[in-house]
Structure 1
């Protein structure tokens, strides 16, 4: 090094440059960890103290900006807010549940250093560094960092299960000669109610809302007069009187069927003589009533509030920081990491994989990101008990790049919104399989099982067997299966009397329907009558009886308790029930045995060749409701021909799926569909005549077995899924591992479950409870602790492990 200022080669920083200064490329060490991060001045990749030397040797990059960050606890004389003050169903935001990040500040230090002597670090000083070197170092120091920029671009914020849309009626046309509304003394125009009153912002009419049982002991009186008013007038936007403050109010839009915000609310209220600044809040909003419910039972039960939860640390106990509505990802990953195939494939081969990949590929390689994550969760490097006298808490990892890479291109998982954990696990399984080479063990095989469908033709008494493959066992939860119906009925009577007297019942005295999970399973495998089945032998619609059995049993069985259903008007709802969940499952008696001696098998016919038998009446009813025929067939098939209600629920809950309107593989495979088959020229011409391009027509026909009607239907509903020109002709399946369901004894023990808080899978919060070394452990994002009262009865997804 010369006696003059230090001057070394480096790359120019452009507006498109990505600076990886948030964490190491190969692990989750951040600038807060001892040793900090070393940012290469040539590639702008960041490395921790453990990995920087290997990188420098391979890349011959010698010059680095060293970044160290220190946490400093905020000093505050203000008392901690009690839990009753929570005003938002959120984490880490004002009014929400507390997050550790709100109690610390950061002190950053940047220095210049060179390999191999990293002990020598030069301050960013013009007396030591050349002007150009000092400039690039300062630019890197000021850069937001690649992960932060991705976070901002994606609109990711702290978890918030209560985000409201801006109403489309922000420019609402209001009535002329409006009535002037007083500041108080309101009453329903139809009845005598003086609470739960809503002001229609179009015509100034005041009427009561619906009687709303938000939860145990939480009820609002109402006779639905405002809804009736909307049905008569179609005036959609209403505000709840008594909830108006200087900055906010409880608004609802009937035609949008949403709680909304109105940027012009002050002007809309002033139209009727109401000034927001003069209003005083006297009633709870719908959100606050919902929060009462969550804090009183569901949230408190699942989060084990009231128990002294002792933190647990070390390998297998690493938390995942909530990146903004990412708890569904966090809980799913924690549960899947219980499975040895996942840990062996990704946790034990980190050095081997990273050594085989160019460092620049790590950020965009699924297996690399999965390996980085699983290895970090299993290592214990990010799960250490902090000293009480230190501010640094280096527990938990932030899988920002993993989330971005896995969700890329998906209409739901690429967003910052809350999603369904069950759907995410299925999607992640697809990613795992697509990135497993033919000579590698397919980790999804540990979850895969086959169901045998035995159908008996009532006309001929002949039998047909078919199979379908699953990775999750979906069990419908129905109030009809409750074991304590009399007790629930008595409780409802008592509650009505108590509420009529203006009182409420304490939440701990609430009696909820208790439903055995085994009863849900028995319903799933019970005989089902198909009245519309046409016998291929007699030609008559004499019906059939079908039943499901397990053809194979997986190593790990994921059971979905389908708490989410649809109401009579097909509005998604969540059932307020407690499940009776066994610690052990014995399922061997449900094993299918295939064709038996003496059974006559049904001949194959056109219907059978076209795919599984589905109830045609139910399909027709769903189509009449406006759903695509492909989605209707899929819904009836995947719900086991159980009738209209479960099929309608499925189709309502999956409308946002990217393959919603695509034919299920069980149908296309039966039809002999071959990827890459030549599209029929006449069929192409028919579709082009409808206004589609030849490329769209050919692609749709290949997806729908050259059936022009089905292809046209697919294009009208899913035409935006036709890939770009370069990809449209490539219909060959990706090279990946074969799908081989495993089999063994049908005996299981419960080792984990994922619970959901909230009224919808697309809002609220997910938490995982896992059995580790004989003890239940709660994984609530980055917080990991020994569980005292695992709320098994409130689970949504249950993970069972085979007992050998």
Structure 2
């Protein structure tokens, strides 16, 4: 007790605003349910596993900890229960079925389908079918449910069956739910829990941590990251959380096969591996971001870009592991008036591949299927999943579309006016790892976001020699280097504004959309609206900035500064970002990431000093020949809904990662992916 008294002065009681990390270790994924439990410091309230608690105590001087150890217990539900688990992983957890098996009470009412006229879905588990209850109103009244005040909030079983069968084939193919799969355990085969629409995070990070550059930086050299950490809170440090995630996924510590399991026998993999729970990681990388800070479904490609930007910003003094994805794009512009050319290069880290739906090889079959589908929906007839016909587009057609010249209208310094030009895109360098995104998402004729339901025969071995760019060629003459006249301020087409406003969007937002898209028509303005409708200033009045520099003093928001500086930026860089976005933190985060290679030049220009040349990315280059190593698939009708899984090729065989479920793939759906990762083949 005397020993404890020596440390009483360092014991604190949590106050409002104090965060107590009692659910998982700061450096690992040990929890109170782990074998050795969790130790919570009674001064900092940080949680530590047994592996790290002694080192932390020695370094911090804090010696009093609360040891938390929990035993897993299952809660039994009794009256209001969830439904069946579907083959695709959706639905409930089978609690209603289990309750019936235990009590033999056969009837269940789906609460969300109860209407004021006394109708509802009533299901008999005894008969395994829908039944009619002529005394439903009376029976519900016994439980205190007054149908007169009820409102239908969910789809009926018939409505769900129609919807489900229309997408069941896609879910079954992508998750391989139609077959029993062999579970995988050990290093590199650890699943990740779904924290609520976090499947896009899980899929992207599983793929990233198969790339040697990321494995070396965060896993192999993890000790140096821990030893070099000097921060106040590990939960706010990107490199620490990347180390923690890499260790959780690659060490095998959290992917141990249960006893008495035959790994050569196909079994139900749902509950074999709980997976790690990346709560700290998701909170950190989403902080300050308009989309990733929410619990909504997001675009996996946008998240991959976001992680690569954060990795770059937190790689000061060390090699950025994301360099293996970067390449230089060459855009060649051919003037129709003079036949002279201009070459412009730019950095990129993924290759968007167009999906020309109108060039499907089975258009007649697709049209016939769509007609049958419309007829079935009108008559509420359920179509079977195997009846679905998906548009088939050859990969070579997509590649040819990318390589083909694009007709544009641009200013010619030779003709001194806008003229038609050809824009030809090539790759000046080819990275060690090439990310290809199939541009499957767009806006439908009803202006609703949609996904193109297509099948593309993506090759496992890829040669992109046709895309190699070589710069200025013999016989080509460059356009003169003269400054184009400043673009005229576009007039705001009142007709387009009116069309958008009639769709229900705010008037000022519509004016902004038309102005910022250069008065280029309804489609361009609508695309802008769909991309920015979540912005905090979406409906604010349009402000047209003047070129005149303001001498007004600017005071950066301290909270915003702290947030941006925690991402690895300097105070000066963070201040510039907030100034450029009027102290809007969400916009400042986007701005600073998109301008990270020219921040020094922009700061120098602001101070009047000579601007250093923008920092050029470090490119890898080599033969444009690749083999497929991983792909991420999306199921659902748009990027705002659905589910992501990924397939990764390890030791010559494909493995499917579906959140916490990790299994040997029986039939990888190579033609239905969204993001593909290729690695260079060295001859």
TM-score normalised by the chain length of structure 2: 0.73
Q: Deviations over 1:722-777 (max 9, x none)?
A: 79xxxxx99649x9996212211111111111111222212221111111111111
1:429 aligns with 2:308: yes
Instruction: Provide the residue aligned with 1:353 in structure 2.
Output: 225
Q: Deviations over 1:74-125 (max 9, x none)?
A: 68999x9985879xx986xxx53679xx99xxxxxxxxxxxxxxxxxxxxxx
Instruction: Provide the residue aligned with 1:198 in structure 2.
Output: none
Q: 2:239 aligns with which of 367, 388, 397?
A: 367
> What are the equivalent positions in structure 2 for 1:74-113 lying under 5 Å apart?
83=84, 95-96=91-92
Instruction: Provide the residue aligned with 1:726 in structure 2.
Output: none
> What are the equivalent positions in structure 2 for 1:498-509 lying under 5 Å apart?
504-509=382-387
For 1:376 and 1:759, how far apart are their aligned partners in 2?
A: 32
For 1:388 and 1:362, how far apart are their aligned partners in 2?
A: 38
Contact kept, 8 Å, 1:326 with 1:418, in 2: the verdict is: yes
Q: 1:298 aligns with which of 170, 180, 184?
A: 170
CA displacement at 1:290 relative to structure 2: 3.1
CA displacement at 1:352 relative to structure 2: 1.6
Q: Flag the 1:68–1:492 CA change in 2: closer, same or farther, 3 A.
A: closer
1:19 aligns with 2:28: no
Instruction: Provide the residue aligned with 1:194 in structure 2.
Output: none
Instruction: Provide the residue aligned with 1:774 in structure 2.
Output: 652
Instruction: Provide the residue aligned with 2:334 in structure 1.
Output: 456
Instruction: Provide the residue aligned with 1:549 in structure 2.
Output: 426
Contact kept, 8 Å, 1:550 with 1:590, in 2: the verdict is: yes
Contact kept, 8 Å, 2:26 with 2:235, in 1: the verdict is: yes
Q: Flag the 1:346–1:277 CA change in 2: closer, same or farther, 3 A.
A: closer
Q: Flag the 1:656–1:433 CA change in 2: closer, same or farther, 3 A.
A: farther
Question: Can you give the 5+ residue segments of structure 1 that lack an aligned partner in the other structure?
Answer: 104-163, 165-180, 186-244, 247-269, 637-642, 662-678, 686-692, 698-710, 724-728
Contact kept, 8 Å, 1:696 with 1:722, in 2: the verdict is: no
For 2:47 and 2:155, how far apart are their aligned partners in 1?
A: 54
Instruction: Provide the residue aligned with 1:800 in structure 2.
Output: 678
Contact kept, 8 Å, 2:7 with 2:63, in 1: the verdict is: no
Instruction: Provide the residue aligned with 1:69 in structure 2.
Output: 70
SS at match of 2:634: strand
> What are the equivalent positions in structure 2 for 1:642-791 lying under 5 Å apart?
651=528, 653-655=530-532, 683-684=549-550, 695=554, 721=587, 732=603, 739-791=617-669
SS at match of 1:800: strand
Q: 2:148 aligns with which of 240, 263, 275?
A: 275
SS at match of 2:71: strand
SS at match of 1:61: coil
Instruction: Provide the residue aligned with 1:469 in structure 2.
Output: 347
For 2:78 and 2:149, how far apart are their aligned partners in 1?
A: 33
> What are the equivalent positions in structure 2 for 1:200-211 lying under 5 Å apart?
none
CA displacement at 1:455 relative to structure 2: 1.2
Instruction: Provide the residue aligned with 2:281 in structure 1.
Output: 402
Instruction: Provide the residue aligned with 1:176 in structure 2.
Output: none
For 2:497 and 2:315, how far apart are their aligned partners in 1?
A: 38
Q: Flag the 1:595–1:529 CA change in 2: closer, same or farther, 3 A.
A: same
1:537 aligns with 2:414: yes
SS at match of 1:315: coil
Instruction: Provide the residue aligned with 2:453 in structure 1.
Output: 576
CA displacement at 1:717 relative to structure 2: 13
CA displacement at 1:684 relative to structure 2: 2.8
Contact kept, 8 Å, 1:70 with 1:392, in 2: the verdict is: no
Q: Flag the 1:630–1:316 CA change in 2: closer, same or farther, 3 A.
A: farther
Q: Deviations over 1:412-468 (max 9, x none)?
A: 11112221111111111111111111x311112111112111111111111111112
Contact kept, 8 Å, 2:273 with 2:660, in 1: the verdict is: no
CA displacement at 1:802 relative to structure 2: 1.2
Q: 1:632 aligns with which of 509, 514, 517?
A: 517
For 2:449 and 2:201, how far apart are their aligned partners in 1?
A: 22
Q: Flag the 1:786–1:97 CA change in 2: closer, same or farther, 3 A.
A: farther
Higher relative contact order (CA 8 A, sep 6+): 2
SS at match of 2:641: coil
SS at match of 1:684: coil
Q: Deviations over 1:293-335 (max 9, x none)?
A: 33x2122221111111111011111111111211111111111
Q: Flag the 1:380–1:622 CA change in 2: closer, same or farther, 3 A.
A: farther
For 1:480 and 1:90, how far apart are their aligned partners in 2?
A: 33
For 2:681 and 2:56, how far apart are their aligned partners in 1?
A: 45
Contact kept, 8 Å, 1:440 with 1:737, in 2: the verdict is: no
Contact kept, 8 Å, 1:565 with 1:649, in 2: the verdict is: no
Instruction: Provide the residue aligned with 1:56 in structure 2.
Output: 57
CA displacement at 1:566 relative to structure 2: 0.8
Contact kept, 8 Å, 1:42 with 1:61, in 2: the verdict is: yes
SS at match of 1:741: coil
For 1:484 and 1:392, how far apart are their aligned partners in 2?
A: 41
SS at match of 1:533: strand
Instruction: Provide the residue aligned with 1:30 in structure 2.
Output: 31
Which structure: larger Rg? Answer: 1
More divergent stretch after superposition (348-357 vs 485-494): 485-494
For 1:47 and 1:571, how far apart are their aligned partners in 2?
A: 47
Contact kept, 8 Å, 2:656 with 2:665, in 1: the verdict is: yes
For 1:474 and 1:488, how far apart are their aligned partners in 2?
A: 25
Q: Flag the 1:61–1:279 CA change in 2: closer, same or farther, 3 A.
A: closer
Instruction: Provide the residue aligned with 1:340 in structure 2.
Output: 212
CA displacement at 1:542 relative to structure 2: 4.2
For 1:681 and 1:472, how far apart are their aligned partners in 2?
A: 34
For 1:56 and 1:353, how far apart are their aligned partners in 2?
A: 18
For 2:380 and 2:37, how far apart are their aligned partners in 1?
A: 61
SS at match of 1:455: strand
Q: Deviations over 1:687-736 (max 9, x none)?
A: xxxxxx76399xxxxxxxxxxxxx9xx9799798579xxxxx99649x99
Q: Flag the 1:682–1:418 CA change in 2: closer, same or farther, 3 A.
A: closer
Q: Flag the 1:287–1:426 CA change in 2: closer, same or farther, 3 A.
A: farther
Q: Deviations over 1:168-201 (max 9, x none)?
A: xxxxxxxxxxxxx99599xxxxxxxxxxxxxxxx
CA displacement at 1:786 relative to structure 2: 0.9
Contact kept, 8 Å, 2:513 with 2:528, in 1: the verdict is: no
Q: Flag the 1:365–1:25 CA change in 2: closer, same or farther, 3 A.
A: same
> What are the equivalent positions in structure 2 for 1:35-434 lying under 5 Å apart?
35-72=36-73, 83=84, 95-96=91-92, 275=148, 289-294=162-167, 296-358=168-230, 360-388=232-260, 395-434=274-313
For 1:497 and 1:326, how far apart are their aligned partners in 2?
A: 36
Q: Deviations over 1:490-525 (max 9, x none)?
A: 444566777888855432132211112332222122
For 2:273 and 2:89, how far apart are their aligned partners in 1?
A: 23
1:600 aligns with 2:477: yes
CA displacement at 1:607 relative to structure 2: 2.7
SS at match of 2:290: coil
> What are the equivalent positions in structure 2 for 1:554-569 lying under 5 Å apart?
554-569=431-446
Q: Flag the 1:648–1:429 CA change in 2: closer, same or farther, 3 A.
A: farther
CA displacement at 1:570 relative to structure 2: 2.4
Instruction: Provide the residue aligned with 2:267 in structure 1.
Output: none
For 1:352 and 1:475, how far apart are their aligned partners in 2?
A: 39
